[in-house]
Chains A and B, each alone.
Chain A
């Protein structure tokens, strides 16, 4: 079993839809959870960052972490064509170890 599993999609939705992206993981030591967004032919950029369990909201984006289920989610409300990108979950354990383990990424297309 891979440490981080992410459905690669692709996922295609109409503009204005609510999008749910998910990752599961097996390493119970993971404490820091991130979502990166990668536009075509660009490097990934940090979108959301969450420590331990709970929710975090930033505008149209909400990140959820459920450590008991080893499951993280990213919700996008009122999706826009500009949200079309690959979304990668990433996570790491605590301490000074900055090694991130990434999911494979989910390709999202929002159709106008």
Chain B
């Protein structure tokens, strides 16, 4: 199955909270969350090398993450605001795979709309 994300679509009202789920079956250690906005491209929110290693990316404000297991990495919005409307991608990498260890494998994405 590779990288799976749930839900595929979500509509929230301002102030609501939600959690986006990501799971992978490739035994990859590295997992990350990106958001994609028209005209802004892909931007890194958080990344993690293992369950005890969580790092902020370039746009972490307003988001939190949890690495529940090597295979699961969730992204939470505590109080959603309209400018968090975007397409969210989970991506994984295998740091042990040699030369192309940083190759990112992306999930299908979650389209989030905040009204």
A contact set with B: CB distance below 8 Å: 6, 8, 32, 34, 36, 41-46, 49, 51, 88, 90, 92, 96, 98-100, 102-105
Q: Of B60-68, B69-77, B101-109, which stretch is located at the interface?
A: B101-109
Decide if B11 is an interface residue (CB 8 Å cutoff): no
Q: Which residues of B contact A32 (CB under 8 A)?
A: 102
B3, B40, B44, B100: the one contacting A100 at CB < 8 Å is: B44
Find chain B residues with CB under 8 A from A42 CB.
108-109
Q: Is the CB of A44 within 8 A of B41?
A: no
* Tally of chain B residues near chain A (CB < 8 A): 26
Complex contact B108–A103 (CB within 8 A) = no
Known A44-B104, A44-B106, A49-B103; judge A102-B42 contact (CB<8 A).
yes
Residue picked from A41, A42, A98, A102, most chain B C-beta under 10 Å: A98
Task: Indicate if the CB atoms of B57 and A99 lie closer than 8 Å.
Answer: yes
Q: Which residue of B lies closest to A44 (CB)?
A: B106
Decide if B106 touches A100 in the complex (CB within 8 Å).
no
Query: What's the minimum C-beta distance from B100 to chain A, rounded to whole angstroms?
Result: 6
Residues of A within 8 A of B91 (CB): 43
Given contacts A88-B41, A105-B41, contact A43 B102 (CB under 8 A): no
Q: A88 to B42, Cβ gap below 8 A?
A: yes
> Is the C-beta of B89 less than 8 angstroms from some C-beta in chain A?
yes
**How many A-B contacts are there with CB distance less than 8 Å?**
55
Chain B residue at minimal CB-CB distance from A4: B41
Bound-state CA distance A104–B109 (Å) is: 17
Whether A43 and B106, one on each chain, are in contact in the complex, defined by CB atoms closer than 8 angstroms, is yes
Query: Please, which residues of chain A bring their CB within 8 A of the CB of B15?
Result: none
In the complex, chain B residues whose CB is within 8 Å of the CB of A105: 41-42
Q: Is the CB of A43 within 8 A of B109?
A: yes
Whether B109 and A98, one on each chain, are in contact in the complex, defined by CB atoms closer than 8 angstroms, is: no
Q: In the complex the two chains form, what is the Cα distance from A49 to B104 in whole Å?
A: 11
A36→B103 CA distance, assembly (Å): 10
- 8 residue pairs from A and B, CB less than 8 Å apart: A41-B109, A43-B106, A43-B109, A44-B104, A98-B32, A100-B102, A100-B104, A103-B41
Minimal Cβ-Cβ distance residue in A for B3: A43
